[in-house]
């Protein structure tokens, strides 16, 4: 059986138990009882209380060296598949929790100006979790990595501030001088500390100033106000949009533009507004394209065929005649 520092255990052959505070040797653990006494106990006679642990089948327990003092830290680890930079091909990414805290985490990568979450979940105390494998040739696409952490225990514990760190990884970091060896990994790794200086009891409360307390009281007062629910039709009206694609509404002047150039500009504007409506959780968007020779309408319908999830129909004849197309955007997760 593999015990970890921080495990809650009971004694097999007698009443009592406690918390594993260190390992004396490969057969003996030091258990701290509820009254604070430290008792050496044979590991084979200890029973872990698993409901105090985060059980994550994807995570691995860390090997803790007997009698070694452990500094509580959390790292973002990058492990190459070779120790020589010239022969590195794949990079394995880990969150390495060398602390007695359980963690909720989310892992995101930068995509343009925004971040996209790729993985989230829980990691137990003294565990490591593989979160991503990337090809080193694609490192530019995976240059920025964002880690968010929340800390907790299933017993009384000193509160910890959450973590939100962005780590920038470049090719230049993979030199022998930056890589370190660790017994948990086959090859030397890059190790980025993302949580150090775990707080002791009562430290966090000093971060609240009088100004903070005043703001908190305002939030409490605001949240206690009676909520007024809106009619369903009024709510949907806030999620509707009308876009006029007539060129004179899009450009100050279109003098000198050919018909083909005008249509291309209108279609680009149409595509942008459609994507904004989908991403903005809109319910309906109406595109006013006019009648004309029907070329713009046909191009719009051709683009909309690439969105089979959308409901496309003619706009209200009473309001637009034959000059508008209405798009309904179903969102199964919309909350009303």
How does pLDDT run across 7-26, given as a tens digit for each residue? 788 888 888 888 887 788 87
How far is 218 from 108, CA to CA, in rounded Å? 33
Q: How many domains does the chain have?
A: 3
Domain annotation covers residue 213: no
One domain for residues 89 and 167: yes
What pLDDT does 66 receive? Answer: 47
Q: Which token pair is 36?
A: 């604070």
What pLDDT does 211 receive? Answer: 66
The pTM score is: 0.48
**Residue ranges making up the domain that contains 43:** 8-52
Number of C-beta neighbours around residue 325 at 10 A: 21
One domain for residues 47 and 77: no
* pLDDT, tens digit, 9 for 90 and up, residues 128-143: 899 999 999 988 888 9
One domain for residues 181 and 129: yes
One domain for residues 198 and 94: yes
Is the pLDDT score of 228 beyond 70?
no
246, HSE (Cβ side, Cα atoms, 13 Å)? 10
Query: Which contiguous run of DSSP H or E holds residue 42?
Result: strand 38-42
What pLDDT does 327 receive? Answer: 92
CATH of residue 112's domain is 2.60.40.1600
User: Which pairs count as long-range contacts for 36-41, CB under 8 Å and 24+ apart, including other chains?
Assistant: 41/11
Summary mean pLDDT of the chain: 81
* pLDDT, tens digit, 9 for 90 and up, residues 35-91: 778 888 888 888 877 544 444 556 666 655 544 445 788 999 999 999 898 899 999
CATH of residue 267's domain is 3.30.1370.110
The helix, strand and coil proportions of the chain, stated in percent and rounded to the nearest 5, come to 25, 35, 40
């Amino acid at each position: 059986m593999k015990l970890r520092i921080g495990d809650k255990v009971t004694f097999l052959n007698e009443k009592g138990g406690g918390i594993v505070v260190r390992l004396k040797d490969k057969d003996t653990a030091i258990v701290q009882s509820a009254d604070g006494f430290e008792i050496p106990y044979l590991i084979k006679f200890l029973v872990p209380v698993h409901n105090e642990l985060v059980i994550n089948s994807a995570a691995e327990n860390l090997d803790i060296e007997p009698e070694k003092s452990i500094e509580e830290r959390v790292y973002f680890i990058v492990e190459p598949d070779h120790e020589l930079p010239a022969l590195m091909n794949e990079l394995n990414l880990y969150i390495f929790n060398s602390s007695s805290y359980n963690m909720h985490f989310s892992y995101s990568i930068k995509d343009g100006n925004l971040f996209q979450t790729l993985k989230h979940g829980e990691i137990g105390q003294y565990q490591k979790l593989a979160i991503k494998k990337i090809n080193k040739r694609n490192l530019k696409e995976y240059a920025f990595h964002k880690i968010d952490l929340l800390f907790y225990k299933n017993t009384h514990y000193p509160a910890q501030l959450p973590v939100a760190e962005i780590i920038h990884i470049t090719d230049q970091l993979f030199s022998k001088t930056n890589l370190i060896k660790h017994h948990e990994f086959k090859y030397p790794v890059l190790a980025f500390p993302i949580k150090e200086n775990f707080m002791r009891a009562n430290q966090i409360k000093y971060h609240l100033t009088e100004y903070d307390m005043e703001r908190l009281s305002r939030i409490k007062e605001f949240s206690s106000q009676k909520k007024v629910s809106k009619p369903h039709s009024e709510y949907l009206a806030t999620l509707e949009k009308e876009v006029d694609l007539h060129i004179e509404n899009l450009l100050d002047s279109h003098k000198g533009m050919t018909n083909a150039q005008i249509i291309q500009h209108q279609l680009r504007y149409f595509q942008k507004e459609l994507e904004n409506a989908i991403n903005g959780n809109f319910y309906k968007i109406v595109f006013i394209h006019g009648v004309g020779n029907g070329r713009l309408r046909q191009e719009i319908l051709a683009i909309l065929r690439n969105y089979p999830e959308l409901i496309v129909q003619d706009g209200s004849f009473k309001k637009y005649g034959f000059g508008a197309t209405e798009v309904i955007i179903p969102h199964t997760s919309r909350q009303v």
